[in-house]
Amino acid sequence: MRAFLFTLALALAACSPAPEKKATVVEAPAPDIPVKDHRFLLPAEHQTSATVVRSHILDNKTLPGGSLGEYEAQGRKYQLFIIESTTAQNAAFLMLDFKDTLKNPVYIAYMGGYFGEPGNPPGDKPVYVFARGNFLAGVVGLTQALADPIARELAARL
């Protein structure tokens, strides 16, 4: 009889549903990707500060981190930025992704870049962006005519 009850208890235990396990999603922190410091490539003239931004330079979700310089000349404030990519192709893709965030981007053939207004805040300043080798760089906050010579100087440094 005991053997029967024991067998019956085992059979009933096997038929009962297993306790439910609650699924928990654990998000791993984003890897800390090292960003190279290229502040030495930024022109020193009119520079008020220079920093290394760890991610999303210009608060743009399509861009990684890079070096950002703040400038002031003739009552105008503007920024220069440099982002190093792994290859020239990746830098070009970054530029195209960034171009898609601009309203009415104008292609600048001789620089291989674009000029336009950001499509969304927080950036409301015009941007002149170009790719040189494995770098993506640009001028923020100036008109195309004022940004062009500064962008050419920056391109020569890359």
For residue 36, the one-letter residue type is: K
Name the helix (H) or strand (E) containing 120: none
Query: What is the spatial distance between Cα 71 and Cα 78, in angstroms, rounded to a whole number?
Result: 5
Report which of 95, 71, 96 is spatially closest to residue 83, judged by C-alpha positions: 95
Name the helix (H) or strand (E) containing 142: none
Q: Which strands make up the sheet holding 135-140, listed edge to edge?
A: 47-55, 64-73, 76-84, 135-140, 127-132, 113-118, 102-108
Burial class (CB in 10 A: 0-12, 13-18, 19+), 30: exposed
| pLDDT per residue rounded down to tens, the chain (158 residues) | 555 555 555 555 555 555 554 545 545 444 556 788 999 999 999 999 999 999 989 888 889 999 999 999 999 999 999 999 999 999 999 999 999 988 889 999 999 999 998 876 555 799 999 999 999 999 999 999 999 999 999 999 99
Q: Is the pTM of this model over 0.85?
A: no
User: Given this model, what pLDDT does residue 30 score?
Assistant: 47
Domains of the chain and CATH, by start: 39-157 (3.40.1000.20)
